[in-house]
Amino acid sequence: MSLRLPRRSSTGRKDATRHALLEAALNVFGEKGYHGAAVDDIVDRAGRSKGAAYFHFPSKAAIFRALVRELANQLVNSIQRKMDDVDSPAERLDAALLGLIDVFVRHRSLARIVLIEVAGAGRAFSDDLIFVRRQFADLIERELDRAVEIGAIPPCDTHLIATAWFGALNEVAVHWLHDPDAGSLHASYPSLRQLLLQSVGFSPAEVDRVPLHA
């Protein structure tokens, strides 16, 4: 149902509890937001006790932080794997974009947390906010650099562009999160893809190629 949060050893009671807590946190934070969620909510949903929560994590903030970091790593790895299945820069960027959209659609709570809650939880979390966003942006930046290197696109400020790309996807996703009926995320993909690829000067031939996965 939800992304596999890492379960360190397969049998330990300790890890099972930690995992249950994080999974509950994912849902509760996703539904009620960081401030709207009480530690008791998470604990109840996990079928554990407050004592257990504070045995594993020093604070509510630490639960949130751990969750965000693990979600981000998990997500980035999964996207990276999808990118490595193909070779041309345009296809790899495609894979990243589609992969992100896929995961968001399937795991709405995750999307809410990664895209909205981290930003809104407060300044105390701004390092985490930047950490997450950079993870994604770096993924894109590396690909753009590669595309520049092999001459698929002209040289440009790939760092800024990667940031802007993520922002564009983020904004579209935020609107979709607010009103899922307004239009599926997947439906926006072709326009978004065209917009982004064109923005860095991919050749029209590459841009026009119909994506395989749609």
Partner DNA sequence: AGAAACCGACTGACCAGTCGGTTTGGTGAT
Partner DNA sequence: ATCACCAAACCGACTGGTCAGTCGGTTTCT
The residues binding DNA (CB under 7 A) are 13-14, 16-17, 37-40, 48-52, 54-56, 59-61
Q: What is the DSSP letter of 4?
A: -
In the region spanning residues 137 to 156, those forming contacts with its own copies, defined by CB under 8 A, are: 156
29 binds its own copies (CB under 8 A): no
**Number of neighbouring beta carbons within 10 Å of residue 11:** 7
Whole-number minimum distance, CB 4 to its own copies, in Å? 27
Which residue's CB is nearer to DNA, number 42 or number 101?
42
166 binds its own copies (CB under 8 A): yes
Cα distances (Å, whole numbers) of residue 89 to 81, 92, 181, 188 = 14, 5, 33, 21
180's contact among its own copies, DNA, none, with CB below 5 to 8 A by partner kind, is none
Question: How far, in Å, CA of 93 to CA of 153, rounded?
Answer: 13
Q: Which tokens hold the place of 176?
A: 């979709």
- Contact with its own copies (CB under 8 A) among 13, 51, 150, 178: 178
175 binds its own copies (CB under 8 A): yes
CB 48 within 8 A of CB 16: no
